[in-house]
Structures are given as structure tokens and as C-alpha cells.
Amino acid sequence: MKPSELERTLHTVIERRLHLTVMLWGKPGIGKSAIVHDVGRAHDLPVFDTRISQLAPTDLRGLPIPDLERGVARWLPPQFLPREERGILFLDELNMAPPVMQGIAQQLILDRRLGDYEVPQGVFIWAAGNRKEDRAAVFDMTRPVANRMIHLHLEEDLGDFRAYAARRGVHEHVVAFLGYRPALLHDMNGSDLAFPSPRTWEMAGQLHAAGLGVAPAVGNAAAGEFEGFLRVYDRLPDAEAILARGPRAGVSFPRGSDERWAITTALALRARTPHEAGNALKWIGAAHAEWMQLTASLLLPRLRAEGHFAAFAALLTTDSELEALMDRYADVLS
């Protein structure tokens, strides 16, 4: 499923209070952990990130404390297990743990307890892991452990990443490049230790914004293509003139697909006001519907997130040209 679909599913799990252990599967760097933390923040739930692959059996079980009065030993549970009434116990990289540790975690996953310790009722138990086919250093998940969970499989999606990148302020050059070369959103086929993934492209955006090369984040091959794409920006129309005047700027829509990706992304990410957003859409409205849809899919969620969408909707009542444009592309934009 796409990241947006996974987010909706996890929101539903919380809203319906489904105390099912969820196992998230996906390639390295695809965003499994980030989604869990984002969903937790949205519901004001602390995330207790626990890597049982880094623990010994006694670390998870706790320490035996003698009860001399009763002549028995009690187990003192570790501090990292949640005591708060609400939260998410997140067993990240679960299948990097050897089978013996997975076995110890069975009781925690199914019965919500370890010895005398009980997981608070308001705490959800979720886990995540990489897949063996992605060359990750993982163990097979034992069948008894696997049978105690529901399994959700995450796949990368360019549209979701573009929306995420706009929210997080990822550099527009990165967003535009991946629109032009979507196959490089996640590519583990090279021999470099660094490879393209949603996580490393976000890192690449930070390097690029600082004036540094992106190869340390995404590898030499992807970095070479990215550097070549940057030369497209030297041929771009004047984005600021388009934002200020729209079609009246007298700027033609570019012919090359690389230039089209670059200018539409630049307009969608640079529009600072509803008026500029309207000018960008009116200018692109002269092009094929595909480019209108791609621009709006990045621009309109930005307006919502930044609190400008109501003002943009109000603009439609006074700008008949923009209103007619939105009506004409209503099917594409829905």
C-alpha cells in the first residue's frame, strides 16, 4: 500500500482502538518508522521505540529481584517498556532480532505482557522490518510470531512523496527531479553503499541546500543524473514573473518534459499567496491537463497546510477566469 493508505489504516486502528499487533514491511529507507512517529504525533501518543535486536534475553525479561519473605524471585521489568496509559510500543527492526529474541517477544506481542509486566490498555503494539529480498541483514520471522500479527506492506509512491516533500520543505530541485525520473525515488540496484530512497532524497535536499553534492546520500549514479537535471534550471522561464502576472507575463510553456517538470514544480512550491497560486494555475491552464493535475496536486495541499485554502476559495468568487479554469479541470482535479 502507498504511504498515505498506510497512514489512514493506522489512524483507523487508533480511532477504533483495535489492539491488534501491526507488522509493517517495506524496503530500507521507505519511511516505515517516520510514518509511525507521524501518526503518533497526530494523536498525541508517545512512541516507545524499542529495538529488541539490540537486546539480550535478560534485557527484555528484566532482572530477578529476590522476595525473601515469600521465598521467590520477582522480575523487575526494564525501564524502556511503557508505563504510561497511552502510547505506541514500536518494535522497530523486529526481524533483525534472532529467533530466540523473537520467541521471547511472542508473549509481549500476543498476550500484551512479559512475566509480571502488563502493557497498559491504552498502548498499541506495532512493529516494522525490512525484507530479506532487499539484501537486509534480517532473520526469518518464526511462524508463531508472524501468526500473532496483521501484516501491512508499504510501497513507495511518487505522489505521496511529493506531498510529503512539500510539507517538509524538501528542496524544489529534488522534488522536480524525481517527477522527471520517478524510477530513482527508490533504487537499490547499484553497488554504492549510498542509494536513492525517500529517506536519502530528504538528506540529499539538505546537502543540496547547503551547497554540497548529493552523492553521499543517494550514490554516484543518481547524483550524476541530478546534477545534469540542474542545468535545466538555467533554461527555465521566469517563475517570479508568472507568479506575479500569470498568462499576462507573456511566457510560453516549455517544450521539453524535463523543463516542464522543473517549472511546474517551481511554481507549485514557490507560490506564497492565493493570488500567486491562481496566477500559476492560470498560466499552466494553457497546457495539457496532465500538467494542471500534477501542479495542483502539489500546490493545493500546500495551501491547505499553510492555512491559505479558504482565501484561495474566496478568490474564485472574484476571479472569473480562475473560477472558469477550475470548473474546466474539475474532473482532473477531483
- Count of other CB atoms within 10 angstroms of residue 194: 18
Residues 94, 235 within the same domain? no
User: Residues 284-324: pLDDT tens digits?
Assistant: 987 666 788 888 888 888 888 888 889 988 998 898 888 88
Q: Is pLDDT of 9 > 80?
A: yes
Concatenating the DSSP letter of every residue in 128-171 gives: EE--GGGT---PPPPHHHHTTSEEEE----HHHHHHHHHHHT--
Identify the pLDDT of residue 333: 64
Identify the pLDDT of residue 65: 84
Distance of CA 40 to the CA centre of its chain: 14
Is the backbone of residue 141 left (phi > 0), alpha (psi -120 to 50) or beta? Answer: beta
Residues 91-96 have a mean pLDDT of 91
Residue at which a domain ends, from 101, 131, 153: 153
Residues 69, 38 within the same domain? yes
Residues 177, 280 within the same domain? yes
User: Residues 313-328: pLDDT tens digits?
Assistant: 899 889 888 888 888 8
Report yes or no: 178 and 204 within 8 Å, Cβ to Cβ.
Answer: no
Residue at which a domain ends, from 117, 132, 153: 153
Residues 162, 146 within the same domain? no
Residues 301, 328 within the same domain? yes
CATH number of the structural domain spanning residue 134: 3.40.50.300
Q: Tell me which of 44-48, 142-146, 270-274 is least confident.
A: 142-146
Residue at which a domain ends, from 90, 120, 153: 153
Range of the domain at 244: 158-333
Residues 170, 265 within the same domain? yes
pLDDT band at 334 (very low <50, low <70, confident <90, very high): low
| pTM for this predicted structure | 0.81
Residues 2-9 have a mean pLDDT of 97
Residues 187, 127 within the same domain? no
User: Residues 15-60: pLDDT tens digits?
Assistant: 999 999 999 999 999 999 999 999 999 999 999 999 988 888 778 8
Residues 141, 162 within the same domain? no
Q: Is pLDDT of 108 > 80?
A: yes
Q: Is pLDDT of 157 > 70?
A: yes
Report yes or no: 216 and 194 within 8 Å, Cβ to Cβ.
Answer: yes
Identify the pLDDT of residue 332: 61
Q: What's the domain count of the chain? A: 2
Residues 225-235 have a mean pLDDT of 90
Residues 34, 49 within the same domain? yes
Q: Is pLDDT of 237 > 80?
A: yes
Identify the pLDDT of residue 105: 85
User: Residues 185-212: pLDDT tens digits?
Assistant: 999 887 789 999 999 999 999 999 999 9
Residues 171, 111 within the same domain? no
Query: Mean pLDDT score of the chain, rounded to an integer?
Result: 90
Residues 199, 329 within the same domain? yes
Residue 52 in grid coordinates: 529488541
Residues 234-253 have a mean pLDDT of 88
Long-range contacts of range 113-119, CB-CB < 8 Å, 24 or more positions apart? 114/60, 114/61, 114/62, 114/75, 114/77, 114/81, 115/61, 115/62, 115/75, 115/77, 116/74, 116/75, 116/77, 117/62, 117/75, 117/77, 117/81, 119/81, 119/82, 119/89
- Half-sphere exposure of 129 toward its Cβ, with a 13 Å CA cutoff? 24
Q: Is pLDDT of 136 > 90?
A: no
The residue assigned the cell 493545493 is: 300
Give the separation between CA 243 and CA 264, rounded to whole angstroms.
Answer: 11
Please, what's the largest Cα pairwise distance for the chain?
A: 90
Look at residue 124 and give its three-state secondary structure: strand
Give the separation between CA 43 and CA 11, rounded to whole angstroms.
Answer: 8
Residues 212, 276 within the same domain? yes
